[in-house]
């Protein structure tokens, strides 16, 4: 649990009335979301369990840091809504709800889980960067650094990491430094997308910065069988991106247009290159379709170079000498020299037998006999 959440829970215990906990905990959620700009109309919905609930209850909305309830609603339904019209940065904070039996004042529920509402825009925006980079392969780690302006007047701030499309903040941490580091461990395909961050005051009035410029984690292209393969091999090129991707496309440098396209499966695209040859060597990249517009595609990933080397050796024709020590090499060399000397001797004997090369007195005698 992050220090930010620990602090909120401690403040909750200090600044909200005690809950007897005799009734089950309710659930609190927000529409349209928890990260909004000033002027947005927010609706907080509080619902109670249907089992063992009183017929008529009073729902209460609480905010951390205030002693008095924000709103009360009497209802015989299982839920009610609390309106926060035209929210301002000071509305940023932690919200909870409770309900109690209208006929028994001591029968009150536990507090709901806290919702962290972030209203952006009153402080200068921070910067967001990725370490080691924006292109990340599945399973690798990446760290997002959120840095507030150097001249910021806040001595200690709470940094919050946001993702476009996510209904609530991803991570929060408080620090007295000018930067906060958010690790994304073992990155998955679902982690691709646009990220921003904000920083805020830890205490009231909860001023919050404008969001940083969006930082996009790019799709990545990787080869399952390696970047250098033998001719005739089968290669799988894996492309991945953010959630809700309908189609992936594969490109090759020097080839106009899309090389292959396919429907996404679990936010991934697998492109099979079968029986590759030297013509398949080159730089490949991938992209994915944005939404339902078939003509709108994401900017391609960084290129991946595939190298197809010489022909694959046929089965039974490929062999390799075992690793040899220097003494073994010397024995092999001597054996080869002896074998060559033996062949030379056989050649000389064969020539002598046919009379091509006379040898000493024996050769002269043979010549006289022929004469």
107 and 25 in one domain?
yes
286 and 269 in one domain?
yes
Q: Which of 185, 217, 249 is the last residue of a domain?
A: 217
Residue 314 has pLDDT above 60, yes or no: no
106 and 28 in one domain?
yes
325 vs 218 pLDDT, higher one: 218
CATH number, position 187: 2.60.40.10
Q: What is the dihedral of CA 287, 292, 296, 302, to 10 degrees?
A: -10
236 and 213 in one domain?
no
Q: Which residues of 328-351 are buried (b: 16+ CB within 10 A; e: fewer)?
A: eeeeeeeeeeeeeeeeeeeeeeee
Dump pLDDT digits (tens) for 87-105. 987 888 889 999 988 877 6
336 vs 184 pLDDT, higher one: 184
What tokens appear for 39 in the block?
């002027």
DSSP string covering 214-242, please?
PEEEBPEEEETT-SEEEET--EEEEEE-S
Phi first, then psi: what are they for 153, rounded to 5°? -80, -10
Dump pLDDT digits (tens) for 229-261. 888 888 888 787 655 566 888 888 888 888 888
pTM: 0.48
Q: Residue 302 domain-assigned?
A: yes
Label residue 28 by pLDDT band (50, 70, 90): very high
How far is it, in rounded angstroms, from Cα 199 to Cα 125?
A: 8
How far is it, in rounded angstroms, from Cα 148 to Cα 127?
A: 6
**How high is the pLDDT of residue 224?**
55
114 and 16 in one domain?
yes
Which residues are bridge partners to 237 per DSSP?
Answer: 223, 271
Q: Which residues of 275-286 are buried (b: 16+ CB within 10 A; e: fewer)?
A: ebeeebbbebbb
- What is the total count of domains within the chain? 3
């Amino acid at each position: 649990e992050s220090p930010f959440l620990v602090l909120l829970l401690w403040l909750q215990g200090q600044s909200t009335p005690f809950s007897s906990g005799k009734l089950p905990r309710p659930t609190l959620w927000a529409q349209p979301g928890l990260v909004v700009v000033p002027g947005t109309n927010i609706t907080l919905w509080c619902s109670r369990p249907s089992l063992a609930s009183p017929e008529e209850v009073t729902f209460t909305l609480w905010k951390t840091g205030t002693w008095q309830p924000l709103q009360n609603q009497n209802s015989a339904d299982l839920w009610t809504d609390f309106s926060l019209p035209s929210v301002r940065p000071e509305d940023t904070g932690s919200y909870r709800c409770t309900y109690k039996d209208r006929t028994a004042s001591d029968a009150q529920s536990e507090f709901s889980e806290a919702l962290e509402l972030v209203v952006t825009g009153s402080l200068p925006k921070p910067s967001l960067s990725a370490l080691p980079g924006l292109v990340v392969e599945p399973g690798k780690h990446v760290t997002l650094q959120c840095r507030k302006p150097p001249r910021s007047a806040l001595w200690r701030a709470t940094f919050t990491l946001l993702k476009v499309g996510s209904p609530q903040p991803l991570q929060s941490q408080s620090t007295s430094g000018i930067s906060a580091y958010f690790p994304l461990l073992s990155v998955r395909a679902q982690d691709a997308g646009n990220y921003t961050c904000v920083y805020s005051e830890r205490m009231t009035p909860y001023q919050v910065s404008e969001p940083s410029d969006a930082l996009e984690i790019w799709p990545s292209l990787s080869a399952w069988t390696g970047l250098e393969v033998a001719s005739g091999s089968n290669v799988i090129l894996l492309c991945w991106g953010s959630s809700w991707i309908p189609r992936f496309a594969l490109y090759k440098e020097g080839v106009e247009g899309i090389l292959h396209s396919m429907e996404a499966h679990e936010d991934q695209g697998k492109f099979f290159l079968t029986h590759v040859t030297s013509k398949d060597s080159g730089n490949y990249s991938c992209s994915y379709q944005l939404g339902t517009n078939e003509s709108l595609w994401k900017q391609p990933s960084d290129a991946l170079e595939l190298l197809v080397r010489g022909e694959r050796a046929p089965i039974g024709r490929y062999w390799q000498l075992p690793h040899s020590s220097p003494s073994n090499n010397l024995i092999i060399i001597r054996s080869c020299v002896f074998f060559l000397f033996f062949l030379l001797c056989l050649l000389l004997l064969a020539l002598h037998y046919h009379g091509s090369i006379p040898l000493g007195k024996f050769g002269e005698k043979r010549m006289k006999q022929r004469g």
